[in-house]
Amino acid sequence: MWERMARFRPDVRESEVTPERLYLRRREFLALGAAGAVGALLPRRAAGAEPEPSGAALPVSKRSDLAGGEKPTPWRDVTTYNNFYELGTEKEDPARNAGSLRPRPWTVQVDGEVKRPRTLDVDALARMFPLEERIYRMRCVEAWSMVIPWDGFPLADFVERMEPTSRAKYVKFTTLEDPAQLPGQRRRVLDWPYVEGLRIDEAVNPLPLLALGIYGRVLPNQDGAPIRLVVPWKYGFKGIKSIVRVTFTEEQPRTTWNLAGPGEYGFYANVNPAVDHPRWSQARERRIGEFFRRKTLPFNGYGDQVAHLYAGLDPRKLY
């Protein structure tokens, strides 16, 4: 049985908001005027976007604020400004193309270094584990961020229930591969299916969730329905969506973005503002819905809970 990591520390220091150079070029700002510039910074809305939480309610038994009291990003933004390349590469594509994904019926295969490989129905998973809501800061590698109330169950509980063997050193996640449901897969922008992974000690840290919803409602298709990974101290590309397989393995999995751009996307993908992406800085970020940028926090502000996992390793090589 895997030993749990340290307890949560809810007193996470809030990030400092410091005005900086405007997101638009100065010439564009002067031409548009302040009001026009603010509008240009906001996400474009997908047609028919719901302004308030919608969809089936989830039986959430516990709620925790793990974002330092920050106001959650509005539902409309969370559901219309997405990275989900399986539904398209533009931020508005996932909401626009989400109707093709069929999240029921849905099963998750569990295999590899476990005592008993099995296939689980996603609704059975929802009954197997008590659901809770956690408000997390989420940081995208492209220097934008959100605060999202995720609904799901701890990945650590799932790992424990699946009974990995002593040879399991990593957990590998695989998304659905079906171009009929995920039209973005008709283009070879990435090597499908999407694959992500965590070290086993990362997976049993109390922070990661297997999410089934947001804002207390069932997860919208464009946000990774019906089940996705949430790892709040890592860049967003680690949050694999529409999971169909979880494999416990002795070898480090070859993950999608690390294969696509090994010089830009590391396996660990820990938020490290001191290490720039080769094409842009990671030192500051813009919270969706805000005008000015703010300082990016190491480990996205969750260092107290996770920094010990990387003791003795060079943080500049972990990105």
Q: Is residue 106 over pLDDT 70?
A: yes
Which whole-number Å values give the CA distances from 132 to 135, 236, 256, in the listed order?
10, 21, 29
Span 150-187, pLDDT tens digits:
999 999 999 999 999 999 999 999 999 999 999 999 99
CA 27 from centroid of its chain's CA atoms: 35
Distance (Å, rounded) from C-alpha 110 to C-alpha 120? 8
Q: Where are the domains of the chain?
A: 51-317
Burial class (CB within 10 angstroms; exposed 0-12, middle 13-18, buried 19+) of 239: buried
Residues 198-235 as b or e (16 or more Cβ within 10 Å = b): bbbebbbbbbbbbbbbbbbbbbbbbbbbbbbbbbbbbb
- Contact 249/110 with Cβ under 8 angstroms? no
Span 39-86, pLDDT tens digits:
334 455 555 578 899 999 999 999 999 999 999 999 999 999 999 999
Dihedral of CA 65/67/69/72: which sign? negative
- The pLDDT value recorded for residue 46 is 57
- Contact 18/292 with Cβ under 8 angstroms? yes
CA atoms within 13 A on the CB side of 193: 18
- The pLDDT value recorded for residue 44 is 56
- Please compute the mean of the pLDDT values over residues 213-229 and round it to a whole number: 98
pTM: 0.86
Distance (Å, rounded) from C-alpha 175 to C-alpha 153? 19
- The pLDDT value recorded for residue 65 is 98
Which whole-number Å values give the CA distances from 107 to 118, 126, 218, 227, 247, in the listed order?
10, 12, 16, 10, 14
State the chain's mean pLDDT as an integer. 88
Q: Which parts of 39-112 are beta strand (E)? A: 60-66, 107-112
Topology of the domain comprising 51-317 = Sulfite Oxidase; Chain A, domain 2 (3.90.420)
- The neighbouring-strand residues paired with 72 are none
